[in-house]
Chain A
Amino acid sequence: MNIAVPTREQREAKLEGMGCKRKRVEDIRFTQGKGNYVDDVKLPGMLFGDFVRSQYAHARIKKIDASAALKVPGVLAVLTAEELKGVNLAWMPTLAGDVQMVLADGKVLFQSQEIAFVVAEDRYAAADGVEAVEVEYEDLPVLVDAFKALAPDAPLLREDIKDKMIGAHGPRKHHNHIFEWSMGDKDLTDAAFATAEVTTKDVISYHRTHPSPLETCQCVASFDKIKGELTVWGTFQAPHVIRTVASLLSKIPEHKIHIIAPDIGGGFGNKVGAYPGYICAIVASIVTGKPVKWVEDRIENLTATSFARDYHMTTEIAATKDGKVTALRVHVLADHGAFDACADPSKWPAGFFNICTGSYDFPVAHLVVDGIYTNKAPGGVAYRCSFRVTEAAYCIERAMDIMAQKLGMDAAEFRLKNFVRREQFPYHSALGWEYDSGDYHTAMNKAMEAIGYQQLRAEQAAKRAAFQRGETRDLRGIGISFFTEIVGAGPSRNCDILGVAMFDSCEIRVHPTGAAIARMGTKSQGQGHETTYAQIIATEIGIPADDIMVEEGNTDTAPYGLGTYGSRSTPVAGAAIAMASRKIKAKAQMIAAYMLEVHEDDLEWDIDGFRVKGLPEKYKGMKEIAWAAYNSPPPGLEPGLEAVSYYDPPNMTYPFGAYFCVMDIDVDTGVYKIRRFYALDDCGTRINPMIIEGQVHGGLTEAFAIAMGQEIRYDEIGNVVGGSFMDFFIPTAVETPKWETDYTVTPSPHHPIGAKGVGESPNVGGVPCFSNAVNDAFSFLGSRHIQMPHDHWRIWEVAKGLGLHG
Chain B
Amino acid sequence: MPVIPAPFSYHRPKSLAEATALLAEHNDEARVLAGGQSLIPMMKFRLAAPEHLVDVGNISELKGIQRTGNTLIVGAMTTQHELQQSQMLSEAAPILKETSLLIADPQVRYMGTIGGNVANGDPGNDMPAVMLCLDAAYRLTSVTGTRTIKARDFYEGTYATALKTGEILTAIEIPVPPAGHGHAYEKLKRKIGDYATAAAGVVLTTRGGRITTCAIAISNLADKAILATDAAAAVIGTALEKPTLDKAIAAARSIMSPATDTRGTTEYRTSVGGIMVERALKCALARAKG
Contact = CB atoms under 8 A, between A and B. Distances in A.
Interface of A: 50-53, 112, 123-124, 126-128, 130-131, 297-300, 668-671, 709, 713, 721-722, 726-727, 729, 731-732, 734-735, 791-793, 796-797, 805
Contacts of A131: 2, 6, 46
A792 B264 CA distance: 8
A727 B46 CA distance: 19
A127 B271 CA distance: 42
Contacts of B2: 50, 126-128, 130-131
A128 B6 contact: yes
Contacts of B192: 732, 734-735
Given A131-B6, A792-B272, A793-B263, 12 more contacts: A124-B7, A127-B4, A130-B1, A131-B2, A298-B3, A669-B275, A670-B268, A722-B262, A735-B191, A791-B190, A793-B268, A797-B265
A729 to B, nearest CB: 7
A48 to B, nearest CB: 11
B9 to A, nearest CB: 15
Nearest to B105: A732
B236 interface: no
A722 B194 CA distance: 13
Contacts of B194: 726
Contacts of B191: 729, 731-732, 734-735
Given A669-B275, A805-B271, A297 B263 contact: no
Interface string B182-215: 0000001011111001000000000000000000
A745 to B, nearest CB: 36
A299 B3 contact: yes
Nearest to B265: A793
Main secondary structure of the interface of A (DSSP, over half): mixed
Interface in B254-290: 262-265, 268-269, 271-272, 275
A450 to B, nearest CB: 29
A620 B46 CA distance: 70
Main secondary structure of the interface of B (DSSP, over half): loop
A792 B272 CA distance: 10
Contacts of A53: 1
Nearest to A130: B2
A793 B189 CA distance: 11
Contacts of B46: 131
A112 B1 CA distance: 9
A432 B268 CA distance: 46
B5 to A, nearest CB: 9
A792 B190 contact: yes
7 contacts: A128-B6, A131-B2, A731-B191, A732-B191, A791-B190, A793-B263, A796-B264
Nearest to A705: B191
Interface residues of B, number: 24
Contacts of B262: 713, 721-722, 727
Given A127-B2, A297-B1, A793-B268, A729 B188 contact: no
Task: Give the 10 A-B residue pairs with the shortest CB-CB distance, closest first.
Answer: A793-B264, A127-B2, A127-B4, A727-B262, A793-B268, A722-B262, A734-B192, A732-B192, A297-B3, A53-B1
A791 B263 CA distance: 9
Contacts of B268: 670, 792-793, 796-797
Contacts of B269: 793
Q: Considering residues B4, B46, B268, which has the most beta carbons from chain A within 10 angstroms of its beta carbon?
A: B4
A721 B260 CA distance: 12
Interface in B24-69: 46
A720 to B, nearest CB: 11
A50 B3 CA distance: 11
A521 B194 CA distance: 41
A46 B265 CA distance: 48
Q: Considering residues B2, B7, B46, B263, which has the most beta carbons from chain A within 10 angstroms of its beta carbon?
A: B2
Interface string B85-121: 0000000000000000000010000000000000000
A791 B194 CA distance: 14
A109 to B, nearest CB: 17
Contacts of B193: 732
B1 A668 contact: no
B4 A729 contact: no
Given A796-B264, A797-B268, A671 B188 contact: yes
Nearest to A797: B268
B275 A668 contact: yes
A50 B2 CA distance: 7
A130 B262 CA distance: 28
A123 B269 CA distance: 40
Contacts of B264: 792-793, 796
A540 to B, nearest CB: 45
B246 to A, nearest CB: 11
Contacts of A793: 197, 263-265, 268-269
Q: Considering residues B193, B194, B268, which has the most beta carbons from chain A within 10 angstroms of its beta carbon?
A: B268
Contacts of B275: 668-669
A128 B4 CA distance: 8
A712 to B, nearest CB: 11
Nearest to A129: B2
A669 to B, nearest CB: 5
Contacts of B271: 668, 796, 805
Contact of A796 (B7, B105, B272): B272
B192 to A, nearest CB: 5
A69 B188 CA distance: 45
Contacts of B1: 50-53, 112, 130, 297, 299-300
A128 B188 contact: no
A527 to B, nearest CB: 26
A427 to B, nearest CB: 42
Contacts of A51: 1
A309 B7 CA distance: 40
A738 B233 CA distance: 44
A528 B286 CA distance: 52
